[in-house]
Amino acid sequence: MPLPRNAKMLTTKQPRAGKVGPATENVDPEKEESCHAKRSSSSPQGGPKKRSAFGDITNARKNQVVAGKKEAVKVVPPKAQKAHNALGVAKNNEINLKKPMKKTPPTAPAEPKVNPVPEKPVSQVPAVEDIDKEQQSDPYANAEYAKEIFEYMREREEKFLLPDYMEKQTDISGDMRAILVDWMVEVQENFELNHETLYLAVKLVDHYLVEVVSMREKLQLIGSTAILIASKFEERCPPCVDDFLYICDDAYKREELIAMEMSILSTLKFDINIPIAYRFLRRFAKCARATMETLTLARFLCEMTLQEYDYARESPSKLAASCLLLALTMKNLGGWTPTLEYYSGYSAQDLHPLVKRLNFLLTYQPRDKLNAVRSKYSHRVFFEVAKVTPMDMLKLEETLNSS
């Protein structure tokens, strides 16, 4: 009757007397236990690694092979040992000469790993910071295309530069336009619309008046319709037509508002993706790593320019950069950094004249009766930035020249 399989596994084969077994059988039990303890239990199959892989990593198996060779030399008869004495001495000398040569190669390539790239000095750190690197993992930030998007907007600025259209407007003046924009700020605040909606609506009014000569009684209709179009472009849930008829105190009918919407869109050839200063301002504030309070101060300065016809012809990107530079100077937060110069495309000297004009506007307040922007930014939600004291003109000029 054959024995069970497990019974065969319990029997061990005894080596013959006087016969030397393989080197692996002569390993000390304590060393064998230590070898098991050093094995990693994270092999691809889930179990411990094989001993062959362990021997590849360390020199344990090499030591075992050398030990086996030494044992084999001891078993050699004395006559053969005397006959090959000279050959053995020569081999030992050769081994002794080769031992330091085998040990030196691992130490030579280890030196570059300790000091990686020593020839690159620390002082060569680039001055321009990659501001989109932190948002690479955010799919809604479009960080991969942000730089190209703003370069495209800078190119479109040239197409939407405004001429002096008030010369051909016989019934509308710059003061009437300021009153209209002041009312549009109140509408944006009451409807809780985005700031982009307000800036785009003002741009739509200006570009429409470039092409069409209008009468003063139609000016509010143009402004409310421009907010309606901008809301459809910027807002997730834009107000309906009845809301705009209500804020106009029912001065216009529904048919007139719809007809004005068709007139504005057809006049502008439905190309209403106009670059605005607010988008550039947020981009540049990110480059400066400005706080929310500093950004709000720059937004207040930029929104004050919406009422002024003289600033309507300024480039939106240059206007945004100048507002941010003035806000940084007022907060004593430094000047125009290389990162700002790289992403904005303007040097500090390019912005100095416009910065002085903005500080003059903030200091003398030419339109005291139009307080929509000031009352809006006097609220604590906006850090009460409208109450900040303007800089002295001479001090501002000294600060700009020293930076």
Supply the CATH number for residue 310's domain: 1.10.472.10
pLDDT at 316 over 70: yes
pLDDT of residue 144: 87
**Range of weakest confidence among 55-59, 156-160, 297-301:** 55-59
pLDDT at 387: 94
Helix (H) or strand (E) run with residue 128 in it = none
Same domain membership, residue 392 and residue 338? yes
**Phi, psi of 197, rounded to the nearest 5 degrees:** -65, -45
The answer to whether residue 114 is domain-embedded is: no
Query: Which pLDDT score, from 0 to 100, does residue 17 have?
Result: 45
The reported pTM is: 0.69
Considering the domain architecture, whether residues 216 and 245 belong to the same structural domain is answered as yes
Residue 377 contacts residue 386 (beta carbons within 8 Å): yes
Per-residue buried b or exposed e for 123-151, using 16+ beta carbons within 10 Å of the residue's own CB: eeeeeebebbeeeeeeeeeebeebeeebe
Q: Is residue 2 part of a domain?
A: no
Based on the domain organization, do 286 and 387 belong to the same domain?
yes
pLDDT surpasses 70 at 55: no
Please give the average per-residue pLDDT across 315-320, as a whole number: 97
Asked whether residue 245 falls in the same domain as residue 356, the answer is: no
**Residue 134 has what pLDDT?**
81
For the ranges 53-67, 287-301, 350-364, the lowest mean pLDDT is seen at: 53-67
Q: What is the mean pLDDT of residues 328-342?
A: 94
In this prediction, residues 373-398 reach a mean pLDDT of 95
Is 183 a member of any domain? yes
- The predicted-structure confidence for 285-314, as pLDDT tens digits, reads as follows 999 999 999 999 999 999 999 999 999 999
In a shared domain, residues 263 and 208: yes
- One domain for residues 213 and 312: no
**Mean pLDDT of all residues in 351-364:** 95
Q: Which of 241, 267, 293 is the last residue of a domain?
A: 267
Residue 106 has pLDDT above 90, yes or no: no
Q: Sign (positive/negative) of CA torsion 361, 364, 370, 371? A: positive
Q: Does residue 101 lie within any of the structural domains?
A: no
Least reliable range by pLDDT among 9-13, 183-187, 376-380: 9-13
**Co-location of 262 and 306 in the same domain:** no
What is the pLDDT averaged over residues 369-393? 94
Quick one: pLDDT at residue 141?
80
CA distance 212 to 169: 9
**Do 289 and 360 share a structural domain?**
yes
pLDDT (tens digit per residue) in 36-48: 443 334 444 444 4
* Sequential DSSP letters for 224-255: HHHHHHHHHHH-SS---HHHHHHHTTT-S-HH
Residue 318 has a pLDDT of 97
> pLDDT at position 357, please?
96
pLDDT of residue 95: 52
Structure tokens at 24: 């692996």
Number of independent structural domains in the chain: 2
Tens digits of per-residue pLDDT, 221-273? Answer: 999 999 999 999 999 999 999 999 999 998 999 999 999 999 999 999 999 99
Question: Is 61 within the bounds of a domain?
Answer: no
Q: Is 217 part of any domain?
A: yes
Residue 46 included in any domain: no
Question: Do 248 and 321 lie in a common domain?
Answer: no
DSSP 17: T
Residue numbers of the domain that contains 362: 277-402
Query: Domain boundary residue among 244, 267, 290?
Result: 267
Regarding whether 283 and 260 lie in a shared domain, the answer is no
Please tell me the predicted confidence (pLDDT) of residue 149. Answer: 93
Q: Is the pLDDT of residue 340 over 90?
A: yes
**Lowest-pLDDT range of 71-85, 358-372, 378-392:** 71-85
> How sure is the predictor about 87, in pLDDT bands with cuts at 50, 70 and 90?
low
Last residue of a domain, one of 267, 298, 313: 267
Q: Are residues 284 and 363 in the same domain?
A: yes
Once rounded to an integer, what is the mean pLDDT over residues 98-110? 49
Measured distance CA(186)–CA(248) in Å, rounded: 12
Residue 292 confidence (pLDDT): 96
The answer on 307 and 261 residing in a single domain is: no
In a domain, 326, yes or no: yes
Residue pair 358/326 in contact by the 8 Å Cβ criterion: yes
